[in-house]
Structure 1
């Protein structure tokens, strides 16, 4: 395997994992009593909070619902598609 293939695969896994973590974070917003500082919930909170915290300053909750994880799911999904999709930039460059 060559380096571009390994790099593209690693990027795909990273973007997919972050999307999954943000989806899990959306589910956790349904349970406000969950302590995000305790294991295993901190495994989701630690990598996602650096993205969510500044975004919360820009996007206020709508009807008391924090929509910032939904925004980040969209951003990471779009980035994965643009870079690694069937006609993505990296995919096309590797052909």
Structure 2
């Protein structure tokens, strides 16, 4: 395995993990009694919150529903497909 292949695999796994964390974050919004500052939920909240705070300022919750994690799932999915998908930029190079 070359260094480039290892880099592509690492980036793909990182983006996939980030998408997974945002999906778990979406599921956790269904349970408002969950305390995101307590273990193990802080392992999900800490890496995702820096993305969600500025997004909430631009797009506030609609009818009490926070759609910012959904937006980030879409952004990271698009990035992953563009960069390391089957016909991604890094695969073609």
TM class by shorter chain equals: over 0.9
Aligned length: 93
Where does structure 1 differ by over 4 angstroms across 4 or more consecutive aligned residues? none
Q: In the aligned structure 2, how far is the partner of 1:11 from the partner of 1:43?
A: 20
What is the TM-score of this pair, normalised by structure 2?
0.98
Deviation at 1:3, TM superposition (A): 1.1
CA RMSD of aligned residues (A): 0.5
In structure 1, list runs of 5 or more residues that go unmatched. Answer: none
**1:21 equivalent in structure 2:** 21
TM-score by length of 1: 0.96
Structure 2 gap segments, 5+ residues each: none
Report deviation, 1:62.
1.1
Query: What is the match of residue 33 of structure 2?
Result: 33
